[in-house]
Structures are given as structure tokens and as C-alpha cells.
Amino acid sequence: MKRVWDIAENLNDTTQSELNQQGKGEIELLKLPTKPHFSDMVYLDYAATTPVDPAVIETMVNAMERHWANISSPHELGAMTTQYVQEALEEIARHFNVTREEITITSGATESINQALKGVLQAQKKREIITTTIEHKATINTVQSLMKMGYKGHFIAPNSEGTITAEMIESAINEETALISLIWVNNETGDKLPVEAIAKMARKYKIPIHIDATQAAPHFQFDASQFDLVSLSAHKCYGPKNIGLLYRRAFPKLPMQHLMDGSGGQMLRAGTMPNEGVLGFAKALSLIAANWRDERHRLVRLEGLLLRQLLPLGVEVNSASIVRKDSQDDQQMGQQSSQQSNRERDKTLTDIINSEPQFADIKSGIKVKAEREPGVLNLYLPDVHADTLLALVPKLALAKGSACNSDSTLPSYVLTETGYDERRAFSSIRVSVGRYTTEEEILYAGELLRTAIEFIQSIAKGRQTNWYGEYNIYDPYIESLLSPTFIAHDFKEEDFDDSTHLITIEKPYFSLSLYGVLERSSIADGAVFRFRELSAKAYGAPYYLALFQTLITSLREEMITTHFKLEQLIDQKTPAEYLRDTIYIERALQTFLQDLQ
């Protein structure tokens, strides 16, 4: 059977005459915008990783061809290679205004964070570390690992404005505090913590501070010497993967226990130096140093271009600098903000779109606070589950949040810790743009997102009068074709009588509202009931929409005593949470139908 509604390029191959022949009647197709001539995919996930710059690739290929010798070797070839690698290391150090001796090359930020946190605590008698609840998993899991070893971790949650202040960190300091570890630019929201102010405060107590600068390094040049420890990765800076660095101040020297035993050219880390990676890393940082100011202005324009397309749909930016704690009214599905709050939100977003955020300039010494870093947008999409949106726009490389969060059935802990409710977290996506994102791509992505968002919102509001067809769900838990049918009916107050019934099932990550008008038929043994009219409002991931469709189809086509057959939606890959919800939903509906009789 031909697809009626498809996200593929041959979307409109099925004609209305074919639909009529199939007995489907007049049907509205979801027509997604046609892709322009540029690349097949639009990459909007720069916060996860960045494409390697061609100049970096050229540098690395040259290094692999000419400077491949082991720098620890005593022969002439090793000495020549050492010269090139040392020059690259000097360039990396100058980029951060530190010395070569203070830089240790690692396999990436995760290793750097482990070395920094475990290395410092294991090298002294103090047993406590302070961090926050909105850190990257690399930090959170490392602190939790230390806690299993007997150390104590203090996790500071954001305040009512969704941020962390120096005063909040200071209040957690005690005589046993060995280290403070903070993320500078959040990888999910782009929010910036006031790490420079916190570092000054920590210096008064002579407590070292570690900064996760993984998301800061791609966007602006900074002075690492104002901190005690800094971690970052090259692959977030348009450089190669599997290489990063750890900065450790040399004076006064910070005690640290090394984690890897062996031999090599670095005091803190054993192993052979990755020559081509070091040279590529240095080249990537030099490109950032030359262009970050102009690039910052360009990213602000791209963000504004996207937001102007999506704001009319009620889309909001999740950020401590824009949106505060949710009110209880915002937690209800489909409920709109008041006109006044919309005006305030739009004004705030307009200010963000038109503003030019400023950053610390290490040359001028000017330090201007900027609460959110351009390039990382976390967007709340009312009545749209993020999984469903991503399933509808496979040509857009988007994310729900951090690529390192493996459990996709859970809401973003960064958003919930910032103060947003779970429903909002499940309805949020991360859009991150970068060096190769063009205005043409943003215009196309905005059009594609707007079309998909409007379609999903129409289902959630019960306004989709004809949604029928087969489509591919791009979800690892559903591999079969599904046929959703939602028949909407706008009930008026006078329509509600003894034969009109409503059931609502509500959870943060799915909800279903059914309005039905029962029709009674007499038979020899008594009477049976069918739904003469049925209206559905549905919200959730693709699995739940498919599940709801199975239930709704049964209610529309069969007697209300039908036992729902949901086994077709269950396979070995279905998460346990989904299976529990399936049983919960089925029992709730069966109880409802039994009560009707």
C-alpha cells in the first residue's frame, strides 16, 4: 500500500484519486517543505560535536605524512618531530595565556575531568568536593565515583532564577573542601555560570577551582590562568576527536595524583603523544582565535532568524536568562500563557535576538557578564513531545539534550534542575549552530520545524480532523508501519448529556483525552454500546501515539467490551517504562468502559 503521509521526498506521490479508491475520502496530507539544493542533512547539533575544519584536516594529514615519529625517540627523526609537536603545544598554551608546562594532552574532556577531580582529591587529606546539579555527566559521574570511594560531594542546585551564584558556592565551603568544579557554558542550554567571580571567591579560601570549558572553548578565547584547572576537548573546537587537554597551574603548584601508569613524554599522563592530533588541535584553536568575535555576531543573527520563525507557535527558550520557574498553570497540556506573559516573553526574546552579547576579552582586560552563550538554543515546544518531532524531521540533525545522556525515556536533568517541570523538559529540543550553518539552512530548518510542530500541536489540541495513513517512525523502539486515525469533533456545551463521556489519562510524558458520544443498540440478549462520535487529544512520544491509535481504533470500530490487543506494539526493544505504561493505559480504559455498562 502506498504511503499517504510520509516524510520522504516522494511525499506527494499518492494522489487524491488513489485515496478515494482506497475508501479514505478527503484527507489532509502533512506536506513538509522541499529540501533546497544544499547538503541532504542540516546539521544543528554542534554542541554534541563539530565537523573538522578543512585546514585542520590538511594540517593533520601533513603531520601523519611527515611528522609521525615518536617524540621520545633519541634519533634525528624523533628530534625533528619533537620540534613540530613542541611548537604546537606552545601555540595551544599561548591561546589560553598559560605556559607549555601547565598543559597536559589527554584523550578528551572526560579524561581531563577524571584526572582533575580524582587526581586532586587523592593527593591530599581533605575529602570534600563542591559541584552543581547541572554539570555534564562526565563531572557528575566522576563525583559520584569519588563518593563511592568515601569522599563527600556537595551538589548545589540552581536558585529560583535557574542559576548558580558565588554566594551559593561560598555557603557550601568548609574546612574539608578540597576542590570546586563548575561547568562554564552549559552543554544543553548555553547558560553561563559566573565562574570568574566564583574563582575570585575561591581564591580567598585558598580552594582550587576546576572549570569544564568544553562548551566555552569553541565560542570565545579566554584566559585559563585565572583558574586552577581547566578541561576541554578538541572535537568541540572543529578539531579531531580523541584529544583534549587539562590545564593545571604551575605556581603555586597544585598537588595531583596521576591516574595512568606507564611511560611517555608527559609527567602527569603516560602514553605516546598523538602528533597529528596535537598539531590539528593547535590549528583548530588558531582559527577560533582569529574569528571568534565575528562568528559570535553571526551566530546571534542565526538564532534570531530561527526564533522569529518559531515564536508564533508559542515556542520559548529554556534559559535562566530568559524564562524563570514554571507556574502550575503551565504544566497543563495545551494551556496557553496569558496575553501579558506572552508579551513579556516576546519582549525578552526580542531583546535577546537583537542584542550583541559581550565576552571576556583577555587583551583589553574587559570582563562583561553574559548569561547565555550564542550558538546553543534549548527550545520548549508546547504540546509537542520531542521524540515525536525528531521522528518527523529526520533530515534535521537535532537533539533532545546532551548526547551523553543514554536513557532517552527520562527528561533532561539540566532542565528539571533549572526549575522546569517534566512536561516542559519532555517537550524541549536543543538546536546548536556553528561555523558551517548558513542562513539558507536556518530558513529551511525553521520552515520544516514549523510545519511539523503545527501538525503535532493539532493532534494534541484535537483539531486534526483527518489524520490517516502509513508513515515510518524513526524510533529505535518501533520498527513497523503504523496507521494513526484521529477523528476530531468539536463538542459544544449542549452536546454533553448522559450518553457523552470523557476520560483523561495524564502523565508528564504522555496524555490522552477522549470525548465520546455513545450509541445504544438493542440485541436479543440486551444492548451493546458503540461510540457514535469520538474526539481525541493526544500527546507523547511516537510509541504512545501509536498505542493511543490502537485503542482509539478499537473504540471506534468495535463494541466497548472489546479487549484491546496491544501485543503488536511490544517487542524485545521496548523500554520497561513503556511496557508498564501500556498496561496502565489499557487497564484505565477498560475500567472506564466497564463503568459505562
Q: What is the pLDDT, as a whole number, of residue 522? A: 55
Catalytic residues: 404
Residue pair 497/526 in contact by the 8 Å Cβ criterion: no
* Beta-sheet strand order (sheet of 376-380): 316-317, 376-380, 428-432
Cα-based distances in Å from 208 to 68, 130, 477: 37, 11, 45
Is residue 296 within 8 Å of 359, Cβ to Cβ? yes
pLDDT attached to residue 275:
96
For the domain spanning 54-288, the CATH number is 3.40.640.10
| Upstream peptide bond of 357 is cis (omega within 30 degrees of 0) | no
User: 591, 495 in Cβ contact below 8 A?
Assistant: no
Residue 334's pLDDT is 36
Confidence at residue 357, expressed as pLDDT on a 0 to 100 scale: 40
CA Rg, the chain, in Å?
28
Q: What is the secondary structure of 284-330 as a DSSP string?
A: HHHHHHHHHHHHHHHHHHHHHHHHHHHGGGT-EE--TTT--PPPGGG
Beta strands at 42-43 and 396-397: parallel, antiparallel or unpaired: parallel
Which CATH code for domain 35-49+292-460? 3.90.1150.10
Cell of 404: 551523553
What are the Cα distances from residue 295, in Å, to 27, 238, 435, 436?
A: 46, 13, 7, 10
The structural domains of the chain, with segments of one domain joined by +, span: 35-49+292-460, 54-288, 493-596
CA distance 336 to 343: 13
- The 10 Å Cβ neighbour count of residue 571 is 11
Q: Which helix (H) or strand (E) holds 88?
A: helix 76-95
| Predicted local distance difference test score (pLDDT) of residue 595 | 65
Q: Same CATH topology for 54-288 and 493-596?
A: no
Give the per-residue pLDDT at 31: 54
In the chain (597 residues long), the average pLDDT of successive 10-residue segments reads 26 36 40 55 96 97 94 91 95 98 97 98 96 97 97 96 94 98 97 97 97 98 98 98 97 88 78 95 98 96 95 94 45 37 43 41 31 94 94 90 69 94 96 96 95 89 48 34 35 46 81 74 56 77 77 62 47 69 76 65
The pTM (predicted TM-score) of the whole model is 0.80
| pLDDT in the model for residue 584 | 78
DSSP 447-515: HHHHHHHHHHHHHHTT--S-B---B---BTTB-S-B---B------GGG-STTEEEEEEEETTEEEEEE
The confidence score (pLDDT) of residue 572 equals 53
**Domain 493-596 falls under CATH 3.20.20.70:** no
Helix (H, G, I), strand (E, B) or coil at 183: strand
pLDDT at 531: 65
Contact, 543 vs 574, CB < 8 A? yes
C-alpha distances out from residue 534 to 221, 287, 454, 493, Å: 59, 60, 22, 16
CA distance 284 to 92: 10
